[in-house]
Amino acid sequence: MNRDWIATAQTLSQALPFLQRYADATVVIKLGGHAMGSDDAMQEFARDVALMRQVGVHPVVVHGGGPMINQMLERLNITSEFVNGKRVTDAVTMEVVEMVLSGLVNARIVQAISAQGGRAVGLSGKDSNLIVCDPEDPALGLVGKPTQVNPTLLRDLADKGIIPVIAPLGMGRNGETFNINGDTAAGAIAAALRADRLLLLTDVAGVKNAQGEVLTELSASQINTMIADGSIAGGMIPKTQTALDALAGGVRAAVILDGRAPNACLLELFTEHGAGSIIRHG
């Protein structure tokens, strides 16, 4: 008997309990970092998402696009101002943000998933009032924080076997368009769907302790303690806070994982050891 076939059969046998565990599960994935900057990484991510759908998982993809927005603003000679490290988004900048997120980045991801055999459709948080926002901070202009998520459209698409790919834009109460942090949008959508998993892809291996060791499993209380004592700092604070907010909103577990690792999403869902730092209630 062919040895490759035996190895494949053994792998499938080992994965079977995990495949059964996630049958009909909703998994929200925040795509960002390395996986968005490389054509090969994008192709691999798209293949993984299409496979997830084929085995009965309902993936929902929410993407960022900060580097692409920066590049377009530079090409158009539009200067950005920042307040506390966050970009001030005026009406002109917002036009560029929407064009890049909905017109370029979103379409690229949808095309990549479709090329791998998946059925994907591109959306933004403005479609069907998916995400309603208030201003996050008046000093930041058109930067929004989600106050209401209406997941009916996403559930309808899941019932039809379609993978939603969502640009992090929202609608204001007066009809204005808001730019939303991608992690924040993903967390809000995951909470509204009561998702089984929120996967936050980033360019680090996971949450590390003070000794620099990746912690594979943490509780919400441990995260709060590590933020308070400084073990979690910098850019990891908003990611872990997004995870905590999602858990508080009804998500079963959130995972911060390395999007640079091959097949990171599949390893996290369908192997015993996972691929990042899982954060659960407690």
- Whole-number pLDDT of residue 7: 43
- Whole-number pLDDT of residue 19: 57
Sign of the alpha-carbon dihedral angle for 132, 142, 83, 34 = positive
Cβ partners under 8 Å of residue 77, min gap 6: none
Q: How many beta carbons lie within 10 A of that of residue 119, not counting itself?
A: 14
Spell out the per-residue pLDDT of the chain, length 282, in tens.
344 444 434 444 455 555 567 778 999 999 987 677 788 889 999 999 999 999 999 999 999 998 899 999 999 999 888 887 678 899 999 999 999 999 999 999 999 999 999 999 999 999 999 999 999 999 999 999 999 999 999 999 999 999 999 999 999 999 999 999 999 999 999 999 999 999 999 888 889 888 888 899 999 999 999 999 888 988 888 899 999 999 999 999 999 998 888 888 988 888 877 788 999 987
Query: What is the reported pTM?
Result: 0.90
What Rg value do the Cα atoms of the chain yield, rounded? 19
- Whole-number pLDDT of residue 235: 82
DSSP annotation of 247 = H
- Whole-number pLDDT of residue 117: 95
Burial class (CB in 10 A: 0-12, 13-18, 19+), 72: middle
Cα 133 to Cα 37, 178, 190: the distances in Å are: 28, 7, 16
Cα 171 to Cα 28, 95, 144, 178: the distances in Å are: 21, 14, 9, 6
Q: How many beta carbons lie within 10 A of that of residue 75, not counting itself?
A: 9
- Whole-number pLDDT of residue 274: 75
